[in-house]
C-alpha cells in the first residue's frame, strides 16, 4: 500500500470518501446539521475533489458535542477511548472500534518500519500510557511489526536506561524533550551511547527543531525520526518520516490532508504555509470530516527516494494558537529554540511573557552549559547580551535573557511546557 501510485491512492480516497460521508450523515446528527446548514447532501460528494464542499469541524465543535455527540456507531461497538490532555475547557474524548484500532496500529507499524524497524528489534515505548495516545499507539505498532515491546511509559529515567541496557533496546519511542533528558541522564550515569544498543528513535507529540534532532542523535548515538498525529484522528501515526528524514509521509489511504488559509478557510496550493485540515477516510467510531488541526504546515508532493508516493507534510511550524504576539510581533517558540541551539545553548529553556505597564515583556531563561558554568559573572553577562542580540535579530524584538544554573529548569517526561504566558491571567 505504501508504494501505491498516485492514481491508486486517489482511487482509494475516491471510494472511501463517498462511503464515509454517507456514514457520518446517517449517524452523526451534529455533523448532519452542519451539512444541512451548508446545503450539502451526501450525494454531492462523488469524489475526493468534492470534499471542499463539506463544512469544517473545529475543536469547539468537539467540545460542544462532548462526550458522545460525534460518535457514529453504538457505544457497544466501541472497544476503547482515548483523550486529549485538555488544559483548557473540556477534554476531547475519541472512540475506537476494533477496526479503528487495527488501522491505527497499522499506521504506527508503518512509521516504525519506515525508520528501519523489523521484528528483530526491541522497542522501548516511553510515551505515556493511559488516556494519552502516545504509549498505546506505538505499543500497538510495535506489536504489529513483531518487535519485542517494552511498555515502559514515562518516568524513572534511570530505570529506563537500566532496561535499555539489560534488554538491549534498539528503538526508543518518546517525546523529543524526554529523549533529550534521557540523553543527559545517560551521560550523568557515566555511560556513553556505546553502552547502549539503541539504533533509532521515533519522536513526536510536540514541536522540535532540526537542531534538537541533531543534539538527540549525538547524545544517544541514534537516528531520530519524527512522527506526527493527533488524538482526534487516532493518535500518533497520521504521518511519519522515512529514511530521507525530510518531511513526513501522510498515511493517505486513511487520512486526507488539506492546507487552508486560517483566516478565510480557502484551500491553499502545495508549498504554501497554512492550517492543516484532516479527514479520516475510514474511521468507524469517531469519523471527523475536515477537522481543523490548528497546526501550521506545508504539504509537498515530490517523489521521495524511499519509494513512497504519498504526500508529505513538513514539521509543523507551530500551532496557530501557540503563536505568541509580543509587542505586535508574531513569535513562534521554535524560532527562539533555533537561535539557542545555533548559539551553543542546547540545554533546557523556558519562555515567559508578561505585561508590565501596558508593555509586553519577554524573558527567556536558558540553562548554562557545563562548559560555561565556572565562568565569571561578567562573562555570563556577556553571553546573555550576545544571546539577546541574536534573538532580537531573529524576532525583531528585544528579549531579556537569563542564564541560569544547569539543571535548574524542570525536565519533561511527556510534552514539554516551554512557554508561560502570564498575560492571559490579567
Ligand atoms: O500528541 C499524538 C502523538 C503521540 C503524536 C505520540 C506523536 C507521537 P495530541 O496530544 O492530541 O496527540 O496532540 C496533537 O501535538 O496537533 C500537534 O500540534 C502536536 N504534535 C504532534 N506530533 C507532532 C510532531 C499526540 N511530530 C498535537 N511535531 C498536534 C510537532 C506535533 N508537533
The pLDDT assigned to 86 comes to 58
Average pLDDT of 240-258?
Answer: 97
pLDDT band with cut points at 50, 70 and 90 for residue 186: very high
Closest ligand 1 atom number to CA of residue 138 = 6
Going from the Cα of 213 to the center of ligand 1, the distance in angstroms, rounded, reads 16
Strand partners, 299: 313
Average pLDDT of 214-224?
Answer: 97
Alpha-carbon gap, residue 92 to 85, rounded angstroms: 8
- pLDDT over 70 (residue 89): no
pLDDT band with cut points at 50, 70 and 90 for residue 284: very high
- Going by alpha carbons, the residue nearest to atom 29 of ligand 1 is 230
- pLDDT over 90 (residue 425): no
Residue % of the chain over a pLDDT of 70: 98
- Going by alpha carbons, the residue nearest to atom 4 of ligand 1 is 134
The pLDDT assigned to 426 comes to 42
- Going by alpha carbons, the residue nearest to atom 13 of ligand 1 is 230
Number of other CB atoms surrounding residue 44 within 10 Å: 13
pLDDT digits (tens, 9 = 90+) for 364-406: 999 998 888 777 888 899 999 999 999 999 998 899 999 999 9
The pLDDT assigned to 237 comes to 98
The pLDDT assigned to 377 comes to 83
The structure's pTM equals 0.90
- pLDDT over 80 (residue 234): yes
One-letter-per-residue 3-state SS of the chain? CCCCCHHHHHHHHHHHHHHHHHHHHHHCHHHHHHHHHHCCCHHHCCCHHHHHHCCCECHHHHHHCCCCCCCCCCHHHCCEEEECCCCCCCCCEEEECHHHHHHHHHHHHHHHHHCCCCCCCEEEECCCCCCCHHHHHHHHHHHHHCCEEEECCCCCHHHHHHHHHHCCCCEEEECHHHHHHHHHHHHHCCCCHHHCCCCEEEEECCCCCHHHHHHHHHHHCCEEEEEEEECCCCEEEEEEECCCCCCEEECCCCEEEEEECCCCCCECCCCCCEEEEEEECCCCCCCCCCEEEEEEECEECCCCCCCCCCCEECCCCEECCCCEEECCEEECHHHHHHHHHHCCCCCCEEEEEEEECCEEEEEEEEECCHHHHCCCHHHHHHHHHHHHHHHHHHHCCCCEEEEECCCCCCCCCCCCCCEEEHHHHC
- Going by alpha carbons, the residue nearest to atom 18 of ligand 1 is 295
Closest ligand 1 atom number to CA of residue 415 = 1
> Under 8 Å CB-to-CB from 390, ≥6 apart: which residues?
339, 342, 343
Number of other CB atoms surrounding residue 385 within 10 Å: 11
Going from the Cα of 150 to the center of ligand 1, the distance in angstroms, rounded, reads 21
Going from the Cα of 368 to the center of ligand 1, the distance in angstroms, rounded, reads 29
Going from the Cα of 204 to the center of ligand 1, the distance in angstroms, rounded, reads 6
- Going by alpha carbons, the residue nearest to atom 15 of ligand 1 is 205
Going from the Cα of 164 to the center of ligand 1, the distance in angstroms, rounded, reads 25
Going from the Cα of 207 to the center of ligand 1, the distance in angstroms, rounded, reads 8
Alpha-carbon gap, residue 231 to 104, rounded angstroms: 11
Q: Among 41-50, 204-213, 233-242, whose mean pLDDT is lowest?
A: 204-213
pLDDT digits (tens, 9 = 90+) for 118-138: 999 999 999 999 999 999 999
The pLDDT assigned to 327 comes to 84
Residue % of the chain over a pLDDT of 90: 81
pLDDT band with cut points at 50, 70 and 90 for residue 22: very high
Q: Among 53-57, 272-276, 421-425, whose mean pLDDT is lowest?
A: 421-425
Average pLDDT of 220-232?
Answer: 97
C-alpha cell, 190: 557515566
Domains by residue range for the chain, with CATH: 324-421 (3.30.300.30)
- Going by alpha carbons, the residue nearest to atom 30 of ligand 1 is 207
- Going by alpha carbons, the residue nearest to atom 12 of ligand 1 is 230
- pLDDT over 80 (residue 352): yes
- pLDDT over 60 (residue 19): yes
Residue 278 CA neighbour count, 13 Å, CB half = 30
Mean pLDDT in the chain? 94
Going from the Cα of 30 to the center of ligand 1, the distance in angstroms, rounded, reads 26
pLDDT digits (tens, 9 = 90+) for 266-280: 999 999 999 999 999
- Going by alpha carbons, the residue nearest to atom 21 of ligand 1 is 205
Going from the Cα of 46 to the center of ligand 1, the distance in angstroms, rounded, reads 32
C-alpha cell, 66: 462532548
Alpha-carbon gap, residue 33 to 31, rounded angstroms: 5
Q: Residues lining ligand 1, CB < 6 A?
A: 84-85, 127, 133-134, 204-207, 226-231, 235-236, 293, 295, 315-316, 319
- pLDDT over 70 (residue 78): yes
Are 397 and 326 spatial neighbours (Cβ–Cβ below 8 Å)?
A: yes
pLDDT digits (tens, 9 = 90+) for 199-210: 999 999 988 989
Amino acid at each position: 500500500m505504501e508504494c501505491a501510485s498516485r492514481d491508486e491512492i486517489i482511487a482509494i480516497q475516491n471510494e472511501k470518501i463517498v462511503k464515509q460521508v454517507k456514514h457520518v450523515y446517517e449517524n452523526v446528527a451534529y455533523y448532519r446539521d452542519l451539512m444541512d446548514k451548508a446545503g450539502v447532501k451526501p450525494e454531492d460528494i462523488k469524489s475526493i475533489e468534492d470534499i471542499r464542499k463539506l463544512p469544517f469541524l473545529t475543536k469547539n465543535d468537539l467540545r460542544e458535542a462532548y462526550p458522545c455527540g460525534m460518535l457514529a456507531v453504538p457505544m457497544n461497538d466501541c472497544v476503547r477511548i482515548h483523550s486529549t490532555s485538555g488544559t483548557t475547557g473540556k477534554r476531547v474524548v475519541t472512540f475506537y472500534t476494533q477496526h479503528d484500532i487495527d488501522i491505527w496500529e497499522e499506521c504506527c507499524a508503518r512509521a516504525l518500519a519506515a525508520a528501519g524497524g523489523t521484528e528483530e528489534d526491541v522497542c522501548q515505548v516511553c510515551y505515556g500510557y493511559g488516556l494519552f495516545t502516545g504509549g498505546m499507539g506505538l505499543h500497538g505498532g510495535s506489536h504489529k511489526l513483531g518487535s519485542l515491546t517494552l511498555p515502559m511509559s514515562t518516568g524513572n529515567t534511570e530505570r529506563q536506561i537500566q532496561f535499555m541496557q539489560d534488554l538491549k533496546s534498539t528503538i526508543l519511542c518518546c517525546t523529543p524533550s524526554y529523549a533529550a533528558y534521557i540523553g543527559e541522564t545517560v551521560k550523568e550515569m557515566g555511560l556513553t551511547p556505546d553502552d547502549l544498543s539503541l539504533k533509532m528513535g521515533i519522536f513526536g507529540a510536540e514541536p522540535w527543531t532540526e537542531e534538537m534532532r541533531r543534539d538527540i542523535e549525538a547524545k544517544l548515538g541514534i537516528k531520530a525520526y519524527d512522527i506526527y498525529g493527533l488524538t482526534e484522528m487516532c493518535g500518533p501515526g497520521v504521518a511519519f518520516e522515512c529514511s530521507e528524514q525530510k518531511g513526513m509521509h501522510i498515511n493517505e489511504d486513511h487520512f486526507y490532508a488539506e492546507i487552508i488559509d486560517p483566516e478565510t478557510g480557502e484551500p491553499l496550493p502545495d508549498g504554501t504555509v497554512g492550517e492543516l485540515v484532516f479527514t479520516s477516510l475510514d474511521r468507524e467510531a469517531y469519523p471527523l470530516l475536515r477537522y481543523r488541526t490548528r497546526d501550521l504546515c506545508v504539504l509537498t508532493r515530490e517523489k521521495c527516494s524511499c519509494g513512497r508516493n504519498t504526500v508529505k507534510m513538513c514539521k509543523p511550524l507551530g500551532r496557530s494558537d501557540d503563536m505568541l504576539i509580543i509587542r505586535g510581533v508574531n513569535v513562534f517558540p521554535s524560532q527562539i529554540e533555533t537561535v539557542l541551539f545555533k548559539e551553543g545553548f542546547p540545554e533546557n529553556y523556558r519562555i515567559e511573557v508578561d505585561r508590565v505597564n501596558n508593555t509586553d515583556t519577554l524573558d527567556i531563561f536558558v540553562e548554562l552549559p557545563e562548559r560555561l558554568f565556572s565562568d565569571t559573572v561578567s562573562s555570563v553577562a556577556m553571553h546573555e547580551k550576545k544571546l539577546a542580540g541574536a534573538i532580537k535579530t531573529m524576532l525583531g524584538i528585544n528579549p531579556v535573557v537569563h542564564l541560569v544554573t544547569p539543571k535548574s529548569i524542570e525536565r519533561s517526561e511527556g510534552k514539554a511546557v516551554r512557554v508561560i504566558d502570564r498575560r492571559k491571567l490579567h
